[in-house]
Amino acid sequence: MKTVLIVDDHADMRRLLSISAGSDFHVLEAEDGESALEAIKRQRPDAVLLDIMMPGAMDGLQVLDAIRADPSLKHIRVAMVTARGQASDLGIGKAHGADAYFVKPFSPLKLLSWLRANLN
């Protein structure tokens, strides 16, 4: 079973994503950038669903940069799941190497469809 790491500082958002993906994937959770990067290095998930705006020393874009800069991690699929929905935000996400960009509120079915298409 493929593993998905959900990274969001809001527990209700992690719960929604976990419920959406939990029947098809093994789900891990992290609530900030630092713990996310730790989990990524330790668990090596197949995909990361990553919020941009989080408290702490690392935001989602910094986590994405760290993933893309590490040759042993750069193959991991990363979808940004964020409230930042301006066209420029999407461009920034893509420039940092995001594989997909979902703006909150989003369709959990579309996100699950993306996961299935990219991990199976």
Helices 60-69/87-95 angle, 10° precision: 30
**Cα–Cα dist 6/28, whole Å:** 6
* pLDDT(108) > 80: yes
* pLDDT(85) > 80: no
How are strands ordered across the β-sheet holding 77-82? Answer: 26-30, 3-7, 47-50, 77-82, 100-103
Which CATH number is 3-113 given?
A: 3.40.50.2300
Contact 108, 79 (CB under 8 A): no
**Single-letter code of the amino acid located at 61:** L
The pLDDT of 9-36, averaged and rounded, is: 93
* pLDDT(86) > 90: no
pLDDT band at 120 (very low <50, low <70, confident <90, very high): confident
Query: What are the residue boundaries of the structural domains of the chain, listed by start?
Result: 3-113
Which residue bears the tokens 């994503």? 17
- Report pLDDT for 88: 84
Q: What are phi and psi of 48, to 5 degrees?
A: -130, 130
- Report pLDDT for 23: 86
Question: For all residues of the chain together, what is the average pLDDT?
Answer: 93
What pLDDT digit, counting tens, does each position of 64-84 carry? Answer: 999 999 999 999 999 999 888
- Report pLDDT for 84: 83
